[in-house]
Amino acid sequence: MELVERLASVIGDRAVPTGELVDELGVSLDDIRRVVQLDGRFSLVDDSYVYTPGLLAGTTWAVPIDPDGATGESSDGTRSDGTPHEIPGGYVRSEPHLGAFSWWLITDDVARVDADGNEIDRLRCVGIWLDGDTEVIHGDADWLDGIGEWASFTVTDGGIRVEPLEAPPAPDPAQVAAVQSGFETVARADETAGFGGSTLSVRFASLTHLIDAALAHDIGAFRDAPIAPVPDLLTAAGLEWEGTIVGPAGFDWDEFHAWQQRNRLRAYYQLDDDRLDALILMLGACELFGEEGDAAFGADERERGGAHLLFAGLLADAEMTRAFLLEAQERAIDFHTIAGFTEAITTGVDGTDVDRSGLVYLRSISLQVASEWTASVAAIDEAVDDDTTHSLLLVEAAYNAADRSQPGVARQLLARAGVVRGADETTLPDEALNLLDEIEPFSSRRPRSDVKRNDPCPCGSGRKYKVCHLGKETLTLDERAPWLFDKATRYVRTQAPDLLELIAGELAEFADHLYGTLVDLPFTTDLALHEHGEFGLFLEQRGMLLPDDERELAERWLNVPRSVYAVESIGRGSDGGELRLRDIGTDEIVVVTGVQLDDRVDRRDRFVGRPLPVGDRYRSMSGFFPIAAVDADDVLAAIASGDPETLHAILAAELSAG
């Protein structure tokens, strides 16, 4: 018997101390923790474990049926992950009435049974988007038919019985006492420094944890009488709740939210109390600026001038800039407001020597959001010099240098920003590390040249090669072509990550285990670039930075169609494998060079791809997608339709068949 099954058997319908479990099962506490940490049917109450199906057995819960929930509608018709929720039979929110059921039904679907114990369908718990990410419980399409305004949920040996309830019961005194005791057992008390040196004191409990503790304290009370609606039970126990949190009657929710906010900000941004105060002050001023304009900085010119200097100085710290930008977005402060706030501060510190690096960075990001990319680049170019230390500004300048095919410059800028391998990479932005990886093959490679140091420079300047272009040569277009595709890939991954996830999800419709591979696959990226138009946006927004020859090449790539190819022959060239391909749709022959060949190239298959021209040759930047030969015409028709979803669906079917 597996350890998890032995645990369930030993715990049964009790709360069993951890020491007793260790002795009974003959295993270590670490072994037990490893087993239960991914199994939502178990919960830790004080120093004891409970097994939810056993603990809830024999209990009956009164649950109101919301008419909107019974229709299956959500506020945007989707799950929390953005996919259609598809709950035609309706749902019941798990909180607050059925919070004790949530993790059990997330871990396992559970039989819904009739009065005789026969299975009707299965109940499960999923997340959908209502007034936030919300867990709901549902069965099959007709599971709430005939239930009415109230339902009773009874846990039996065979599953859960759901029946109409004429009216909910009043709180049972023994159950109320158990809830009070449960709160005393699991309530957490904490103090933390508040704004301006004040102290925030809170005492609260998780609703689900509290219910588990109450059940564990006196399970007999909950089995002997039906359970009143949980909010009524809490009120009778002298408690109140908000969301998933319970506090004593009269609980100061504003103080709790302030405590919660400071703890989150401190943990996420590693800011001390003084800088936390400054961040909260600056965010509040930005929100107020959106409503009242310059009055947000103070009542008179002197106050406003002081605020301008304070905020500019705070934003000179890259960590504060990052925290401000992320938290402004978390608070749904729009970029129009952020841009106006930044511009007002910039104008206010004109003529002073305050460091404006953070202001410039925020302005550049706001300009990008407004699709004013040329102005964004110009702002960075004007601000960054040898004295710049603001890491976010330096990384933004490195992006621009990379798109200009200046790998050495980009690498130096990243190094100045602290983005180097071997550093504490957990503190570095993933995007910056990805850029470092992108430029590495090109920054460490020198162009080939047979010109000697003291020869005249081939550029025609008349100067010696060693003082003119030695070490400054531009890689050939053939060498830079893969980098051009990498630049476009970076653009998609930073500007449209949701699109990549959507495409990968559609390709993995029948092969969920491949999603993680597909979302990072160059072929998926190329679908976003070509079929979804991201390559055109890349050229529109970043094309002004590309060297002339790369921009011309990119414009050629823009119009290269996708097609289906047959392998005519396989060979080897000076730079790797060589595939001679025939376009099934046009009969055109394309020779693709620099291919990594392996045993998976089956000449009986057909291959979906988009070989891209580089000079008089073709390169496969995004690879090929193999399909069965009999499906070639269907894929060509999907490509010709211009509907990306049709193409995704056919390719998804190919993955399931393979």
Q: Which residue has the tokens 């007793």?
A: 20
**Rounded Cα distance, 628 and 300, in Å:** 74
Work out the angle at residue 481's Cα, subtended by the Cα atoms of residues 428 and 616, and round it to the nearest 5 degrees. Answer: 170
Which H or E run includes 309? helix 301-315
pTM to 2 decimal places: 0.77
Element (H, E) at 398: helix 391-403
- Domains of the chain: residue spans and CATH: 1-168 (no CATH), 173-261 (no CATH), 262-432 (no CATH), 558-657 (2.40.50)
Q: What confidence score (pLDDT) does residue 505 get?
A: 93
CA nearest to 655, candidates 633, 630, 626: 626
What pLDDT, on a 0 to 100 scale, did the predictor assign at position 473?
63
Q: Which of 621, 622, 570, 573 is nearest to 598 (CA)?
A: 570
Cβ pair 177, 215 in contact under 8 A: no
Residue 137 has a pLDDT of 92
The per-residue DSSP string of 52-87 comes to: HHHHHTT-EEEEE--HHHHTT--SSSBBTTSSB---
The pLDDT assigned to 123 comes to 94
Q: Are 476 and 447 in contact (CB under 8 A)?
A: yes
Residue spans of the chain under pLDDT 50: 76, 79-85
SS3 content of the chain, % helix, strand, coil (to 5): 50, 20, 30
Dihedral sign computed on CA atoms, order 638, 640, 641, 645: positive
Contacts 24+ apart (CB under 8 A), 261-268: 262/192, 262/193, 262/194, 262/200, 263/192, 265/323, 265/327, 268/323
Neighbouring residues of 64: CB distance < 8 A, sequence distance ≥ 6: 97, 149, 150, 168, 229
The predicted pLDDT at position 470 comes to: 58
Q: How far apart are CA 413 and CA 424, in angstroms?
A: 18
- Quick one: tokens of 158? 């065979």
Residue 594 has a pLDDT of: 82
Give dist(CA 231, CA 570) in Å, integer. 72
Structure tokens at 498: 């949701």
**Residues 36 and 203 sit within 8 Å (Cβ to Cβ):** no
Check residue 83 and give its pLDDT: 46
Query: Which single residue is written with the structure tokens 């023994």?
Result: 174
Residue 14 gets which letter from DSSP?
A: S
The CA distance from 192 to 199, in Å, is 6
Angle at 504 between CA 501 and CA 505, to 5 degrees: 80
CA distance 581 to 587: 9
Q: Which residue has the tokens 């925290």?
A: 323
Between CA 127 and CA 68 the distance in angstroms is 16
- pLDDT tens for 267-302 read 889 888 899 999 999 999 999 999 999 999 999 999
The two three-digit tokens of residue 74, written as one number: 């959500």
Cis peptide before 96 (omega within 30 of 0): yes
Structure tokens that stand for 229 in this block: 């609606």
Phi/psi for 81 (5° steps) reads -90, 5
Distance CA 512, CA 518 (A): 10
